Chains A and B, each alone.
Chain A
């Protein structure tokens, strides 16, 4: 573990990070209301393809898992499955205030409040909802972070897997499954 801020990447990792920063493929996990802000970001007004970003069809192909809004404990399980299907280096962007502190669902019995406890979030985009300007701004920041090698959430997840796993299990609770595979 390196404690100072010195750049410890070798030349190949720096080149790799340059490619990663300039070609961001996203899997949109659109459960919340934030999904409606993505079409204007993608189409002719804001045009995120200028920065090399684009939507992909499956988590396997994607680099960024974009979580747009609140997560119920039921969808959290699917988000974790999706995240664990992705290939590293992989990044998570939390989108809107619901992923930061629960937003307007802060006292709901069915939603999680803080996404950071369950998955390693690299960047939050605050707002309810963030406008496309804020999204573009946020992704410009993510690109800078990847270029400098600061977006290390996926490494953090590997190193602190027990802590994340414990939080995940606490939140998901006991699940009783009744189907032909489990009886």
Chain B
């Protein structure tokens, strides 16, 4: 580890911000077309973020301020450990557990900051967000632990590399079809796409955790959201869709998967939070357990396609 690693990490953050923000702008246009609208400009998301950073901002005490910085710091630190198309800013540190624990720093920072605003809608939103996390995390973690057991590695980069070179059938989404479906459903929950967006419901709880954010705080939250989206989609791409041999392949897969979740989200109504939990604990959890039993006791999925 030397100075170059840190420069790579910084460049990666810049790349991720530009790429994911542009893609969000593109997806706003996709959503608009689904609704037969023309939609915003593709760079609208940049304008929104810079506009928010330009405004004045109201504080609600140091917990509120500190939570924003802690969340952004934690999430940016997590981005650095995500392997992108075989590239790692700090080689050998891309463990699943490292990523999931660092991600928790960001999530808790967000929860702390929102609760620190003292607004009851924010507390309801945070409560729903954590409930939602508990719902999607258990099926997803069962599938990921199964994969770690089967391939004997917890490195996200290694797991991605093992799927390459065999064409599309080498992807874990096809080796373990049930696990792949669980992963995509859990991704919808992670990204807060409909039908799992009850924690940010703007018309019911006034955008939930975001209710007291304005100006620069809101700008930080938008940037944080772009980074978080990148982490979540990247995990699924690396673990289930074979990562990418080149950066272009990776970006293409990423854009397709992210746009897919947006298109599904565009035609869905919204679950209540208890319905979302019941759904996750009924369908995806059953599928994850069946997948785990199949892989662990028969070895099918590790060896079937070749």
Which residues of A does B touch, CB under 8 Å? 16, 19-20, 22-23, 25, 43-44, 47, 49-50, 52, 56-63, 85-89
Contacts and interface: CB of A to CB of B under 8 A. Distances in A.
B210 A61 contact: yes
A41 B133 CA distance: 36
A57 B32 contact: no
Interface residues on B, range: 20 to 34
Given A57-B211, A62-B214, 7 more contacts: A20-B54, A23-B48, A49-B39, A58-B214, A61-B210, A61-B214, A87-B215
B218 interface: yes
Interface stretch (B12-20, B55-63, B93-101): B55-63
Contacts of B54: 16, 19-20
B51 A44 contact: no
B91 interface: no
A61 B37 contact: no
B206 A47 contact: no
A16 B56 CA distance: 12
B36 A20 contact: no
B131 interface: no
Contacts of A16: 51, 54
Interface string B188-208: 000000000000001100110
Contacts of A63: 51, 55
B48 A58 contact: no
Contacts of B278: none
B212 interface: yes
Contacts of A61: 207, 210, 213-214, 218
A50 B48 CA distance: 13
B259 interface: no
A106 to B, nearest CB: 34
A47 B32 contact: yes
30 contacts: A19-B54, A23-B44, A23-B47, A23-B48, A23-B51, A43-B35, A44-B35, A47-B38, A49-B32, A49-B39, A49-B44, A50-B39, A50-B40, A52-B48, A56-B202, A56-B207, A57-B206, A58-B206, A58-B211, A58-B212, A58-B214, A60-B211, A60-B213, A60-B214, A60-B218, A85-B58, A86-B214, A87-B56, A87-B215, A88-B55
Nearest to B206: A57
Nearest to B53: A19
A142 to B, nearest CB: 14
Nearest to A13: B54
A49 B37 contact: yes
A60 B212 contact: yes
A62 B52 CA distance: 10
A9 B32 CA distance: 36
Contacts of A62: 214
A106 B75 CA distance: 55
A78 to B, nearest CB: 15
A99 B214 CA distance: 27
Contact of A87 (B38, B40, B57): B57
B212 A87 contact: no
B111 to A, nearest CB: 18
B41 interface: yes
B102 to A, nearest CB: 28
A55 to B, nearest CB: 8
Contacts of B51: 16, 19-20, 22-23, 63
